[in-house]
Structure 1
Amino acid sequence: MRENLRVAAYAVCVRDGQLLLARSPAPDGTPEWVLPGGGMEHGEDPHDTVVRELFEETGYTVEVTGLLGVDSVRRSFPRRGLRRPVDHHGVRLLYEARVTGGDLRPETGGSTDLAAWHPLTEVPALTRIPLVDTALTLWRERPPSGRAADARRG
């Protein structure tokens, strides 16, 4: 089985009771809401990753105001075609960030197609990835360990 490690950085941006999210297609094509952020480039600092990714996906410049925590997920993906099965390990750094400039716009030619603010009270009704819930748990509870033990995993 092939091993794959992906380190990524994501932002929790809350303003006036609303959470900034980006929309991305799930593997089956269904649109789902995700945190703005993404994979680190080789040699890139995670802080710089979240600033870059947030700008690419939303059009906003941000100030990182804190590290909320780290989430880790491990999944096995079956073999496709001639490729071996994959043991995927994702390490996700979750930052809090504040919008400092820019204009909200969708990403062009990237992994997301829309960015929008959502009232925090409406987030549970959205089709979203579990990392959104993990991030909100970290944002609300601020556990000293930086780990949201009770959040949905994945």
Structure 2
Amino acid sequence: MTTETTTDPKTEKPPVSVAIIVDQGKVLMARRRAAEGEISWVFPGGAIEAGEGPQEAAVREVAEETGLKVEAVKVLGDRVHPKSKVPMHYVAVRLVGGEATVADDEELDAVAWITHAEIADHVPYGLFEPVQKYLDGVLPH
């Protein structure tokens, strides 16, 4: 007897790409207008659209949400987020220009450049290990 599992397309969450933006010894985080459980502060990002890869989606989402112009550097890793169950891609990006603001006030209510020491205050459940290792290497602490 074989058992097939199928995924209900109505409940499957679309993959998301987020940008890890480091500038002047801090990383940019955004506060969601509506928290999803414990998740309030996040890296800027959003759903990957048809025809986009994770790097292109991260760059586009940063512009839409924060008004910043960035360039993708590398994908740090991917996983299904343990709390939201959303497939996630984490992309390191380089700041090219602009000033971080809340450009999408339907999704976000604040943006903040935070230090290495402040990460635990914003993300008390911890970061994805490859992202934490990357930030450990590029942020002063």
Whole-Å Cα distance in 2 between the matches of residues 120 and 141 of structure 1?
Answer: 8
Match of 1:83 in 2: none
Question: 1:136: which partner in 2?
Answer: 131
Percent identity between matched residues is 27
1:52 aligns with 2:65: no
* Structure 2 counterpart of 1:104, one-letter code: A
Structure 1 counterpart of 2:4: none
Displacement after TM superposition at 1:55 (Å)? 0.9
Aligned to 1:124: 120
Structure 1 stretches of 4+ moved >6 Å: none
Structure 2 match to 1:34: 42
Whole-angstrom distance in 2 between the partners of 1:62 and 1:9: 14
Q: Distance in 2 between matches of 1:103 and 1:140?
A: 21
1:43-122 to structure 2, matched below 5 A, reads 43-73=51-81, 89-122=85-118
User: Contact 2:29 / 2:41 at 8 angstroms: preserved in 1?
Assistant: yes
* Secondary structure class of the residue paired with 1:6: coil
Match of 2:19 in 1: 11
Whole-Å separation in 2 of the counterparts to 1:11 and 1:99: 10
Cα–Cα, structure 1 residues 18 and 5, in superposed 2: closer, same or farther, change >3 Å?
same
Change (3 A) 1:56 1:125: same
Per the normalisation by structure 2, the TM-score is 0.75
SS in 2 for 1:110: coil
Structure 2 unmatched ranges of 5 or more: 1-6
Q: Show CA shifts across 1:46-105 (max 9, x none).
A: 221100101111110001111111122367xxxxxxxxxxxx852211110111012221
TM-score (norm 1): 0.69
Number of positions where the alignment pairs a residue of Structure 1 with one of Structure 2:
127
How far the C-alpha of 1:113 sits from its partner, in A, is 1.8
Q: Distance in 1 between matches of 2:100 and 2:65?
A: 9
> Which one-letter code corresponds to 2:131 in the other structure?
L
CA–CA distance in structure 2, aligned partners of residues 89 and 111 of structure 1: 19
SS at match of 2:100: coil
Which structure has the highest strand share of the two?
Answer: 1
Q: Cα deviation per residue 1:18-57 (whole Å; 9 max; x = unaligned)?
A: 11011102146x8821011111122323221100101111
